[in-house]
Homo-oligomer: A and B are copies of this chain.
Amino acid sequence: MSESGEGLDASSSGAAKGVTWARRSQVPPFSPAPGIQVQPVIGESLMTCWIAMEPGAVVIEHSHPNEQLGVVVEGSVSITAEGETREMVIGDAYVVPSDMAHSGVAGADGVLLVETFVPIREEYARAWRAVVEG
């Protein structure tokens, strides 16, 4: 993890008050479940993650106090919440309120999401730092 240059700056850890510049190819991923890779960028009050899911990869039903706002940037994913399942494709977005149970299944070509959590999802931050710190 570099301190400067074109890569991921130290401030991505959320520790600094300066601007953060991040390049996805230089953000180490962690894997919270099979077929899923998460690359976070962490600010002071929010965390945005690139979440790449292989075709058919599953996020089992779960909930968390963090509000979650996701945008589909590649592929597709079926999201289930409040008893409803929707196929989300490029250009779709969703907001899952705090503590609402939700699940997801990646489509036939997988999916790349840009998902933001407020407040920062600390278990993700910890899992990522464990990878970064080796």
Contact = CB atoms under 8 A, between A and B. Distances in A.
Contact of A19 (B41, B45, B100): B100
A10 to B, nearest CB: 12
Contact of A95 (B19, B73, B94, B98): B19
Contacts of A22: 92-95
Contacts of A59: none
A11 B93 CA distance: 12
Contacts of A86: 6, 21
Given A91-B25, A118-B118, A43 B19 contact: no
Contacts of A118: 43, 45-46, 118
Nearest to A89: B23
Nearest to A87: B6
Interface size class of A (residues with CB under 8 A): 35 or more
Contacts of A18: 82, 97
B91 A24 contact: yes
A21 B85 CA distance: 11
B46 A69 contact: yes
B95 A41 contact: yes
Interface of A: 6, 11-12, 17-25, 41-46, 48, 50, 67, 69, 71, 73, 81-82, 84, 86, 88, 91-98, 100, 102, 114, 116, 118
